[in-house]
Amino acid sequence: MRVADLRPLPLFDGLDDDRLAELLAGGAEVGVAPGAVLFREGEPADSWWVLVDGALELVKVIGREETVVARMDVPGRWAGGFRAWDDQGVYLATGRGVAPGRVLCVPSAVLRRLSDAWFPFGGHLIEGVYRTARSIESTARQRGALLTLGTLAAGLAHEINNPAAAATRAADALGTTCDTLLSSLGRLAHDEISPGQFAALDALRLEVVPAVVAPPGSAPAAVDPLALADREQELSAWLSRRGVADGWTLAAPLAAAGVDVAWCDRVAAVVEGPALEPALRWAASTFEAATLLGEVRESTRRISELVGAVRSYSQMDRASRQRIRVTDGLESTLVMLSHKLRPGVAVVREYADDVPMIEAYPGELNQVWTNLVDNAVDAMGGSGTLRVSTRLDDGSVVVEVGDTGTGMTPQVAARAFEAFYTTKDVDAGTGLGLDIARRIVVERHHGEISVDSRPGDTVMRVRLPVDLPPD
């Protein structure tokens, strides 16, 4: 390649022949053939490519498809060279030959040296632009991350507050119930019931299992409020006929425990006279205590589950790279975002049984799941069906997050993985962006991420290998 080949290019207006010769000496001529790849998207932009003749197309991977985003067919157009001023610069697209021709390839280091020598002021300006853009990007993402952290913390605080408040209320009520239980027991002793009577009374008590107390790991049985009200009214009338003072205060806990009039008749047959009221009140107190202990147990279990989910989500005290079950990360993410999943969002889980454990960076994958779930819920406007599924496909683990929202237009879907692109308002969303989600999946995990969207059915699909190559 000669100086005469570069002289007609408008790009080099203002450069004399000596400088063009110096540029040629620092670079090299590269031939362009149809289909030949000169540089690839995502690789370090270590060279500056100037079209002399022929044509190139710039191809970008969007989803799982290649899309031509630009065409270099005018001599003098250029691409790359970003590392002359930005140490982290990468090619934004893949350069592929379309028509036979030539390009001038100049290493970024040479381009920077010549720029500093010929246009020192311009070089400083360009470097400043890159640094400013990088700083703004970093600050914006940090602020977005802090906003996301604040949102998650507020939602988690709300989730923990409910069971914590329930446990506090139950503990307070339990103190009052225990006082009633002990005072009733003292009154029974004062009335001098026999050991045999107390044993019979205790046997009757053990026959009753309060309906609202569920065995560990199971849900409480549903109580029909109308049937409960009828039973309470019957018990109140029975107590009134027996001359029990303030019988209505006893009827409510007895009815809630599932006691009926027949059971009360059996108690009356064992304990008669003035001892009947403290005997029933003692029994009612034991039922209330069992119920309240059940509430405390359920509330503290819920708090423990939330703390465990946070630990799993944040990957505290764990290696960054490890063998994991993908469903563990998905479930902890659903817990972290549970404040956004009700009341109008139905969550459908479709986890295949044959999905193996994978090698991954779970903390980073949890960021991806957070972004996908948050986007899906926002797309549905807080009402719809969120589908989360896993399956094994051709040796890879496939995770899908689907929603029944309005969907993406083809234009939005085509740009979904571009850096800084968003359809949300300022300060909305997770602050992560699908661009970083793509980097985590593709660059860190050697996987794939794609979008399939239509009105009422949008699916974000992530494909992950079971094993990662060595670092």
Look at 192 and 212; give whichever has higher pLDDT.
Answer: 192
Q: How far apart are the first and last CA of the chain?
A: 41
Mean pLDDT across the chain: 81
Determine the average pLDDT of the residues in 426-432. Answer: 44
Whether the CA torsion 329, 335, 339, 342 is positive or negative: it is positive
Dihedral, CA of residue 6, residue 9, residue 15 and residue 18, to nearest 10: 10
Give yes or no for residue 437 having a pLDDT over 90. no
pLDDT at 54: 92
Confidence check: pLDDT of 427 > 70? no
Tokens of 280: 């029933």
Task: Classify the C-alpha dihedral 209-210-216-219 as positive or negative.
Answer: positive
Helix (H, G, I), strand (E, B) or coil at 384: strand
pTM: 0.47
8-state DSSP, 230: H
CA atoms in the 13 A half-sphere facing the CB of 18: 1
Are the CB atoms for 310 and 156 separated by under 8 Å?
yes
* C-alpha–C-alpha distance, residues 418 and 425, integer Å: 17
pLDDT of residue 422: 60
Is 124 a residue whose pLDDT tops 90?
A: no
Q: Is the pLDDT of residue 162 over 80?
A: no
Give the pLDDT band (50/70/90) at residue 171: confident
pLDDT, mean of residues 206-223? 59
**What digits encode the pLDDT tens for the residues 315-361?**
544 557 788 899 988 988 888 787 777 778 899 999 999 999 999 88
| C-alpha dihedral sign at 440, 443, 448, 452 | positive
- 215-253 pLDDT per residue, tens: 444 444 556 788 888 888 999 899 888 888 777 888 888
Closest CA to 336 of 89, 159, 110: 159
The span from the CA of 395 to the CA of 206, in Å, is: 56
Q: How confident is the model at residue 371 (pLDDT cuts 50, 70, 90)?
A: confident
Report in angstroms the alpha-carbon separations of 21 from 10, 17, 30, 114. Answer: 16, 6, 17, 12
Q: What are phi and psi of 22, to 5 degrees?
A: -65, -40
| DSSP helix/strand/coil, 223 | coil
Nearest of 374, 375, 359, 387 to residue 446 by alpha carbon: 359
Mean pLDDT of 393-416: 86
Count of positions (residues) in the chain: 471
The answer on pLDDT for 154 being more than 70 is no
CA–CA gap between residue 257 and residue 291 (Å, rounded): 8
Ordered alpha helix ranges (H), 315-426 = 326-336, 362-379, 410-415
Q: What confidence tier does 152 reach under pLDDT thresholds 50, 70, 90?
A: low
* pLDDT higher than 80, residue 421: no
Any residues with CB less than 8 A from the CB of 386 and at least 6 apart, and which?
A: 341, 345, 346, 347, 348, 373, 376, 377, 380, 401, 402, 403
> What are the chain's domains?
3-118 (2.60.120.10), 153-306 (no CATH), 321-465 (3.30.565.10)
170: confidence class by pLDDT, cuts 50, 70, 90: confident
pLDDT for 216: 46
Residue 151 pLDDT level (bands cut at 50, 70, 90): low
457 sits in which H/E element: strand 457-465
